[in-house]
Chain A
């Protein structure tokens, strides 16, 4: 007998909002005349993401207690909603970055026609053409929807589907840079091949867990783990699942794609990936580890402990010698993944420990800060697009003090200097880790952040303490979208550093996972 699964439409509103917007975007792409596509696409994507944000917030405000819906495949809990709201908000900001038309003389960061071979006469012709690519908006909206689904998935299969829904559009839009197309295409190929490879691991892990427990529902897996303990099949499955998720979160040693893809992808896309993908991936990691394998902590705990250290060290140390800002921020993202894992560790299933709320908060502030940093990168340009080589930033503060100041703010936040959001976040996760007795990990993390601080500082040194080079880059005057992004992220970075109380409260209240 088949029963219709219970389905709370209210709980699905955010997802519907996103996926709906994406579908409308596809339709616009198909039917709207070319001239009106861009504004329409931007509007739809923004409505979708902001709608997703608002509906998530409304949902969070009105819901009573935690819930699972869609036949138990989706979790509607505090952490899920917090992460969904974070992703939707960061996604909306990313869409704004995509929509910026004032900075590039060619009016967009995205290629006019992806199918035209790079470097061909037609390509050169199109480079200066006013034509813009608008497929990125529905693609990005799909990706955001996928991410929001990812963090709410209460079922490994849904998780897998969400993983693909968020990944596939990302593969595509990574390859859509208007300038330096070869790099962009290379990034797309690498991301795609490795991403597919990682998905296969995740999937195989899913299959093994299914084989071990007979179910892919996280709650069922937990029960099974609690009663049966971990047999080899399940442990292998867990390992492979972790591999798949760590890949998305760009945690070392599964980070190798990150620098290449971050560097090659169009900068707004990099910003989007760095901010939103990280949030989504950690949402899934939290859910998998605590909801699915929460009773099996002792198995994966040492592993995550080790991975966290490796990731922090690799990110911090490798970042030292980078000369490209985007690559440097990629390594920074790897190091931050390690810091986030310390927060993940500082959480026990009983929910007493502040690890979950700390991780949620950290994800929010990291997303905002890194998005802002990449947004600044889009503004500093030379004749061939963004000037991302470090040496080009020398003396920037004297050309453009405001941009340099904003960038410095983001860099200080990434370095975790007090009175910026980055410090509050770091403090929160390290407190969680130490509270849980993992103080050696916290000490390693702190030393790693000191090392990482060196390369953040190097940028500040260049901007402020070096004399400008002749023929250096120009700082473009941003249009409204980028201005909004910078204003929001910079204000958030400062506010969450000085008076983080209310947001911490929010994260604290949101810190629960439904099983």
Chain B
């Protein structure tokens, strides 16, 4: 398996994540799709790190993980608060603001 395969896999994962954001209604699932996108990037970074023979990419992957974790904290807090009010986590229900 060449490095390209990993890259392609990462791209596919990224795409799946992006499409997931578009098609899923539950805010949690949408957010998980975003996480999937971030993780596909991690895969890409690690692959490139391997390709260039440096560890920069791997370090960056760690950075991304930390950031992703922080994002989860913030995101879940927000989603929770709105869920408690509305009793629904569907993103389609939140459309008071439009036009």
Contact = CB atoms under 8 A, between A and B. Distances in A.
Is there direct touching of A and B in the complex, by C-beta distance under 8 Å? yes
Contact of B34 (A115, A119, A193, A260): A193
B70 A183 contact: no
Nearest to A321: B99
A305 to B, nearest CB: 27
B64 A197 contact: no
Contact of A196 (B34, B52, B77): B34
A200 B54 contact: no
B82 A200 contact: no
B79 A196 contact: no
B60 interface: yes
Given A193-B27, A260-B98, A216 B82 contact: no
Contacts of B40: 204
Given A168-B70, A172-B77, A186-B82, A193 B96 contact: no
Interface residues of B, number: 44
B80 to A, nearest CB: 8
Interface string A198-211: 01100110111011
Interface in B39-97: 40-41, 44-45, 47-48, 51-52, 54, 56-57, 60, 63-64, 67, 70-71, 74-75, 77-79, 81-82, 84-86, 91, 94-97
A310 interface: no
Max chain A CB contacts within 10 Å: which of B18, B47, B51, B64? B64
A307 interface: no
B16 interface: no
A162 to B, nearest CB: 11
A375 B13 CA distance: 44
Contacts of A175: 78, 81-82
Interface in A229-286: 259-261, 263-264
A199 B34 CA distance: 9
Contact of A186 (B17, B38, B97): B97
A187 interface: yes
Interface in A148-204: 157, 160-161, 164, 168, 171-172, 175, 181-183, 185-190, 192-193, 196-197, 199-200, 203-204
B2 to A, nearest CB: 14
A192 B74 contact: yes
Nearest to A209: B48
A215 interface: yes
Given A160-B67, A214-B52, A189 B85 contact: no
Contact of A182 (B45, B48, B71, B96): B96
Query: Which label, helix, strand, loop or mixed, suits the secondary structure of the B interface?
Result: helix
A263 B97 CA distance: 8
What class of interface size applies to chain A in its complex with B? Answer: 35 or more
A118 interface: yes
A119 B82 CA distance: 11
Contacts of A157: 60, 63
Contacts of A208: 44
B63 A193 contact: no
B8 to A, nearest CB: 13
Contact of B31 (A181, A190, A196, A199): A196
Given A204-B14, A210-B56, A263-B97, A161 B63 contact: yes
A441 to B, nearest CB: 29
B64 to A, nearest CB: 6
A460 to B, nearest CB: 23
Given A207-B48, A260-B97, A161 B67 contact: yes
Contact of B64 (A119, A203, A264): A203
A169 to B, nearest CB: 8
A64 to B, nearest CB: 31
B78 A203 contact: no
B21 A193 contact: yes
A118 B85 contact: yes
A259 B99 CA distance: 8
A216 B44 contact: no
A119 B67 contact: no
B78 A259 contact: no
Nearest to A200: B37
Contacts of A196: 31, 34, 71, 75
Given A175-B81, A200-B38, A207 B97 contact: no
A187 B81 CA distance: 12
A207 B67 CA distance: 15
A200 B34 contact: yes
Interface string B5-30: 00100000010011001000001001
A164 B96 CA distance: 27
Contacts of A186: 82, 94-97
Given A181-B85, A186-B94, A186-B97, A200 B41 contact: yes
A351 interface: no
B94 A214 contact: no
3 cross-chain pairs, A with B, having the tightest CB-CB distances, nearest first: A200-B37, A260-B97, A211-B48
26 contacts: A114-B81, A157-B60, A160-B63, A160-B67, A164-B67, A164-B70, A175-B78, A185-B81, A185-B82, A187-B97, A188-B81, A189-B78, A189-B91, A192-B78, A196-B71, A197-B37, A200-B17, A203-B38, A207-B45, A208-B44, A210-B56, A214-B48, A214-B54, A216-B60, A263-B97, A264-B97
Given A157-B63, A164-B70, A196-B34, 7 more contacts: A157-B60, A185-B78, A193-B27, A196-B31, A197-B21, A200-B14, A204-B41
